[in-house]
Structure 1
Amino acid sequence: MPLLPGAEPYHHHGGPTGVLLCHGFTGSPQSLRPWAEHLAAAGLTVSLPLLPGHGTRWQDLQVTRWQDWYAEVARELQVLAEQCERVFVFGLSMGGGLALRLAAQQPAPVAGLVLVNPAVRADRPGTALLPVLRHLVPSVPGIANDIAKPGARELGYDRTPLHAAWSLAEFWRTLQPELPRVDQPVLLLHSPQDHVVSPANSALVLSRISSVDVTELLCERSYHVATLDHDAELIFEESLGFVRRLSGVPHGTEATDERG
């Protein structure tokens, strides 16, 4: 299937510090593209991959599993690790969960994490029914586009495929016991008004990880897709400051040589 316009992956060759960005479930790189471009403009090397089954139609996501999504970001991490002196991993929603697993499973390349409304647990009562329901109902209404800012839109599916949703729940069960293995510096930003991922997700992350260098910030004016919402600039600037603090990236560095 052809990609939806705007769902294309994004890559930028910059300096010796790299950032891997992981988008969310049923979403696409579009939700993180302004963030990626902001980092690239600051001189960082940036990778924003399209996860398998995303960016086309929801039926394509139905036949993928969490292992496919994780394998894609793990591959991109290794590519960045070969190109860069240090690599940071950023994630929105499910992408935050993928980022946490990368830090737990492959700690050496990961210099730090920036998590925006990370999804790490089941919030919906119907999740317990997914093992059976997924064989009876192919999809339910989508979760995309939870944004407070007027006129802002997320490019995501209007249906949630239940085979994939069941696999996401399996991913959370795999991830949660691994959270104590995460000890890298963490910047966690979350929205008090999030209609997709409850605040209990961020609380679980903060209570389980072993990181000592942890900063928690609230996106007071935004809903779930805060990277496209009123607090986008806060996310962009704070995350860039986080990277600069930990890697010594100078201010005003120009980015060069882009590939799309």
Structure 2
Amino acid sequence: MKIPFRGAPAAPLDPALVAPMSTAADPARTGGRRIGVLVQHGFTGNPASMRPWAQDLAGRGYAVEMPLLPGHGTRWQDCNQVTWGDWVATVDGAFDKLAAENDAVVAVGLSMGGALCLRLAADRGDELAGIVVVNAAVDTLRKDVKLLPALKRVVPGMPGIANDIKKPGADEHGYPTTPLKAAASMFAGYAELRRDLPRVTIPVLFFRSAEDHVVDISSSRALNARLSSKDFEERVLQNSYHVATLDHDAPRIFAESAEFIERVTAARD
């Protein structure tokens, strides 16, 4: 059997680019209350794709926890050694830290990071004030995903999905290869999440790029059809591709998410 692609060279990433971020709240900027925000990157990405957003949130006085998911920020081969369950556990741990130190917590995420925020909302929504997701992935129209359980046994990786960004010169520093064992675990996690979306009852702000070459319209359809939240809004970004947090619409995401966070955390007083 001829295997046409086994993955790009595993060049290590700059540790400074992929480092996690943790900052304390500044209640003087947030009405005297301590507000925490969990910031989560996506599949094959790392904190570099979310750092400008995390820095903006910290500058507004919010405590920020931006973890690096296991298997990310090193070599793409390392991602094949971990699973969806490992990523869910990482997000739970970051949330626990924020919840212990702050009066209210919101979670924000990009792509698979958005899915992890939705998983947190389904499991622990009574502890969470709300979530903001950007191009959240929970489903796909791609038929080849059904082949992943078999394909992952013979091909470790396929061409990567990084840097779907419209803005010239922007770089998310993601993996050049999609690790297939990890991808199979991720899509299995999405299937379970779709079944549990009706358990999401807290406020949800959903940004979706009109043109996205990574996550297709099926994820938007699933969220609109299955979420139980009575405070759910989808806002379409017209000038960004998938990694909108580094794209032309990033300032809009930052400003509108801050308005959402202020509103939903005030409602919990």
Pick the TM interval, shorter chain.
over 0.9
The partner residue of 2:151 within 127, 130, 133 is 133
- Which structure has more relative contact order (CA 8 Å, sep 6+)? It is 1
**Superimposed CA distance per residue, residues 200-256 of structure 1 (whole angstroms, 9 cap, x where no aligned partner):** 21221121111111222111000000000000001000000001112249xxxxxxx
Conserved in 2, the CA contact under 8 Å of 1:28 and 1:156?
Answer: yes
Alignment of 1:132-171 (within 5 A): 132-171=150-189
Number of the residue aligned with 2:205: 187
Conserved in 1, the CA contact under 8 Å of 2:23 and 2:65?
Answer: yes
The partner residue of 2:54 within 19, 36, 46 is 36
TM-score, reference length from structure 1: 0.93
Conserved in 1, the CA contact under 8 Å of 2:40 and 2:108?
Answer: yes
3-state SS in 1 of match to 2:38: strand
Number of the residue aligned with 2:18: 7
Number of the residue aligned with 1:213: 231
| Cα distance in 2, alignment partners of residues 108 and 40 from structure 1 | 24
- Cα offset for 1:22? 1.1
Number of residue equivalences: 249
**What is the aligned-residue RMSD (CA, Å)?**
1.4
Number of the residue aligned with 1:104: 122
| Cα distance in 1, alignment partners of residues 192 and 261 from structure 2 | 28
Alignment of 1:228-239 (within 5 A): 228-239=246-257
| Cα distance in 2, alignment partners of residues 43 and 152 from structure 1 | 27
Conserved in 2, the CA contact under 8 Å of 1:186 and 1:214?
Answer: yes
**Superimposed CA distance per residue, residues 97-154 of structure 1 (whole angstroms, 9 cap, x where no aligned partner):** 1000101111222100101000001332210101111011110000010000011111
Conserved in 1, the CA contact under 8 Å of 2:140 and 2:216?
Answer: no
CA 235–104 in structure 1, closer or farther in 2 if over 3 Å, else same: same
Number of the residue aligned with 2:85: 67
**Superimposed CA distance per residue, residues 178-216 of structure 1 (whole angstroms, 9 cap, x where no aligned partner):** 100000011100001000001221221121111111222
Conserved in 1, the CA contact under 8 Å of 2:157 and 2:180?
Answer: yes
| Cα distance in 1, alignment partners of residues 142 and 14 from structure 2 | 28
3-state SS in 2 of match to 1:144: coil
3-state SS in 1 of match to 2:129: strand
- Cα offset for 1:70? 0.7
Conserved in 2, the CA contact under 8 Å of 1:191 and 1:199?
Answer: no
Amino acid at match of 1:63: Q
Can you give the 5+ residue segments of structure 1 that lack an aligned partner in the other structure?
250-260
- Cα offset for 1:175? 0.5
| Cα distance in 1, alignment partners of residues 13 and 165 from structure 2 | 23
| Cα distance in 2, alignment partners of residues 184 and 156 from structure 1 | 31
TM-score, reference length from structure 2: 0.90
- Cα offset for 1:2? 6.8
Amino acid at match of 1:221: N
3-state SS in 1 of match to 2:181: helix
Can you give the 5+ residue segments of structure 2 that lack an aligned partner in the other structure?
1-10, 28-33
Q: Percent identity?
A: 50
| Cα distance in 2, alignment partners of residues 55 and 123 from structure 1 | 28
Alignment of 1:90-101 (within 5 A): 90-101=108-119
